[in-house]
Amino acid sequence: MALSKTGIGQSEPERVRQHLAVLETQARAGIAAAEGKPETAVSSRLHAARLYRDGTHARHAEMLKVYRAAQERLAVHPEPRRTVADRLLGRQPINAGMEAMERSVAAARADLIAAENAAGGADGHLARVERTEKAERAQHMAQMETQHRAAMEMLAEVVMAQKLVRAFPAFAYSGPVFTAWAAGKVERKRRRGLQNPWARNIWGLPIDFG
């Protein structure tokens, strides 16, 4: 029976190379995902808030026109004339048309106030949605930055492992897991500022492989 290339028939250097290749692919995929363009489409929540704001403002403009028209009709309506009986009895003349117009103005004013309140509420709602969207975008960008930094660090550790194996081929016989761990330890030390080309780790290997 032929030996499997993924099992006992596979040499340690080959296993290390494949393991590092998988890690490199994952790191580069993470970098590509983090560097992708952010979503520019307007969310349904923000779109609905803007539509509601536009609708309430349109309603307010319409109610304002109705109110002004009612005031103009009331202003041009002729004053009722007092009859002799009205003067003798000391009463005001009855004018059903005037009373109807006054009721119309009062109703239009009430509708205008309600439309103003609705428009103000819609403005406040839209402002809250925009603040929430902005905060969520900032949080998303922070997460993407964190993922990008982690992927870059992972890629740097993989590159360090590849350099280590090329510089010391026998080191691959320590196994893929240990090789990746050791290279990561070396790379993390480099990131902390240890750039001395003569520095050695506990195994006598140079810390800075250039």
pLDDT band of 111, cuts 50, 70, 90: very high
pLDDT band of 1, cuts 50, 70, 90: very low
Q: How many domains does the chain have?
A: 1
| H/E stretch holding 114 | helix 96-167
d(CA 183, CA 170): 14
pLDDT band of 17, cuts 50, 70, 90: confident
Judge residue 1's burial from the number of C-beta atoms within 10 Å of its C-beta, 0-12 exposed, 13-18 middle, 19 or more buried.
exposed
Q: Where is pLDDT greater, at 71 or 8? A: 71
Tokens of 4: 């499997």
Tens digits of per-residue pLDDT, 136-192?
888 888 888 888 888 888 888 888 888 888 888 887 888 888 888 888 888 887 777
Q: Does residue 118 register a pLDDT over 90? A: yes
Tens digits of per-residue pLDDT, 34-81?
877 666 666 889 999 999 999 999 999 999 999 999 888 878 765 666
Looking at the domain assignment, is residue 1 inside a domain? no
Looking at the domain assignment, is residue 196 inside a domain? no
Q: Which of 16-30, 51-65, 86-100, 155-169 has the lowest mean pLDDT?
A: 86-100
Contact in structure between 170 and 183 (CB atoms under 8 Å): no
**Coil, strand or helix at 80:** coil
Q: What is the DSSP letter of 170?
A: G
Looking at the domain assignment, is residue 148 inside a domain? yes
Structural domain that includes position 133:
12-190
Q: What is the pLDDT of residue 79?
A: 65
Write out the DSSP string of 54-72.
HHHHHHHHHHHHHHHHHHH
Looking at the domain assignment, is residue 80 inside a domain? yes
Q: What is the pLDDT of residue 75?
A: 80
d(CA 47, CA 55): 12
Q: Where is pLDDT greater, at 95 or 192? A: 192
pTM of the complete model: 0.57
Looking at the domain assignment, is residue 81 inside a domain? yes
Q: What is the pLDDT of residue 161?
A: 87
